[in-house]
Chains A and B, each alone.
Chain A
Amino acid sequence: MTRSRSPSPQATRVLRALAADPARWRYGYDLATGVHLKSGSLYPILIRLADRELLETSWEQGPPGRPARHLYRLTPTGREYVAALDVARVERSVPRRRWGLSGA
């Protein structure tokens, strides 16, 4: 059974990068440079997201003699998850702003 705890800031960055263009397949290295993560952090995050079925993967065959390349994009569940994250962020930020105004 997968845990449903909130994602780490790094995982959130990866999710948002993938959600920016959800239909597009992304390469691991491009994703890592895009979100400024080292490969050692990126791949464990991708593995966890795939385990939670938020991420789908595919293989792109390269030229003969070269290894295939792995591609990633969000599943429909993953897109809903990112949307829910955005809603939760808005809900968290609104009361804080109100509190800040009333305290001023």
Chain B
Amino acid sequence: MPSVLAILLVVGAGPPSVLAILLLGVAGAVMWGREHPPQDRVTERRDAPVRLLQWADGLLPADRVDWGQAMLGELDRIEGRSKRWRFALGCVTGVVLLPPWGPVGPMAALVAVALGSAVVFGFGFVHFGLATDPWNWVMLAILAALVIGSIVAVSVQLRRARVARLALVGGLFVAAAWLVVSGFTWQGIISPIYSVGAWSDPALYIAVPVALGVSGAWHSGSASVGRRAARLAGVSAGLVMFFISTIAVVAIDGGPRDPGASVAGGVSEAFSNVAMTYLLSLPLAAAAIGWVAATATARIRSLNLAQLNPDPMSTTKAAGRAPDAREGRTTGRTLRRVAVVVAVIMAVTLFFLAR
């Protein structure tokens, strides 16, 4: 029970950084929705199964892109909502599990990190007698799903070599930023959000994913590369930090706990906290921040190219998008929205830090 309560506390009513992440995610979703209006439904279907499959097709390696188009072409001819959903979900599973699963070296390293986490967690589970509480088994199941999900997410993202190096190096920087904010102490690693002190700390959380999104989008000329780099960096950093945090939990018996709380309860709660923080919040935060940065960078780059070269075809090509007459207006709107999102986040963070 304490595990579930801790999960709800961290995810729901939690500290400022989590709130800022949620706000950022919502703002990002709104921006994405406005930038991708539904197309003509008479000529081309754009329902949820199509969007899901389009997203999944983006995970295919470059030499399998045709197969993604094949799945979309087939989905287009299927009638009936449940049949369409079944077909799309089946295809997504196929796309995710289809080899290749990314370069051997980085994948082996991340799997080793995940296995290391499992060993330390297993030791803690037995050593502190967590098996007696049924809720701890629920926590174990959620945690296993998060770790396996992270590994699968990394493997599909690593298929695109263009992103892999930037994202993996970026992941180390993201992990380093969280370690710096934790103050390199076991307690700080278990509760990094509560370790936030100076203004430089939240800035560090934000700056690294921003740098990743910007550099990916700027060098490639495509916002999707920056977004993908930030996403992959977040997940890989999350796995690394989760490994370190499980050691921290075992090393200090879960850290300080409420008066009267048992050691097992404290350890269980600490395990839940670190799982939610590093396997969920960290990747989400990095992905959301990187998303905004990459989108804004691609727009700014497109605007710069438009000023240098008035030929609309070359500009839109460099920005990685189809020619669009509304490009200039959309760019202005996007930049304004990004500014609003940043301002809201700063205001929320200020409010909570001032309390």
Contact = CB atoms under 8 A, between A and B. Distances in A.
Contacts of B94: 39-44
A65 B40 contact: yes
Contacts of A65: 40, 42-44
Given A29-B78, A47-B67, A65-B40, A40 B91 contact: yes
A36 interface: no
B173 interface: no
A43 B350 CA distance: 51
Contacts, number: 75
B74 A27 contact: yes
Given A28-B71, A43-B67, A44-B98, A67 B76 contact: yes
Given A40-B92, A40-B94, A70 B74 contact: yes
Q: How large is the interface on B (under 10, 10 to 19, 20 to 34, 35 or more residues)?
A: 20 to 34
Nearest to A38: B90
A69 B43 contact: no
A44 B116 CA distance: 31
B36 interface: no
B43 A64 contact: yes
A30 B271 CA distance: 48
Interface string B125-139: 000000000000000
A67 B91 contact: no
Contacts of A69: 70, 73-74, 76-77
A62 interface: yes
Given A38-B86, A43-B67, A67 B93 contact: no
A62 B73 contact: yes
B43 A62 contact: no
**Residues of B contacting A: mostly:** helix
Contacts of A32: 87
A70 B70 contact: yes
A28 B40 contact: no
A84 interface: no
B69 interface: yes
Most buried by B among A42, A57, A62: A42
B112 interface: no
Nearest to B99: A44
B43 A28 contact: no
A39 B69 contact: no
B71 A39 contact: yes
Interface string B54-74: 000000000010110111111
A93 to B, nearest CB: 32
Given A29-B78, A41-B90, A68 B43 contact: no
Contacts of A67: 44, 69, 72-73, 76
A39 B90 contact: yes
* Most A CB within 10 A of own CB, among B70, B88, B90, B95: B70
A39 B74 CA distance: 10
B5 interface: no
A29 B67 contact: no
A39 B91 contact: yes
Interface string B95-124: 101100000000000000000000000000
A29 B74 contact: yes
- 3 closest pairs, A vs B, by CB? A65-B43, A70-B70, A39-B90
Given A42-B90, A43-B70, A68-B73, 9 more contacts: A28-B70, A28-B71, A39-B71, A39-B90, A41-B94, A44-B97, A62-B76, A66-B44, A69-B73
Interface of A: 27-29, 32, 38-44, 46-47, 57, 62, 64-70
22 contacts: A27-B77, A29-B74, A38-B90, A39-B87, A39-B88, A39-B91, A40-B89, A40-B97, A41-B94, A42-B94, A43-B71, A43-B95, A44-B97, A44-B98, A62-B76, A65-B42, A66-B43, A66-B44, A66-B76, A67-B72, A67-B73, A69-B73
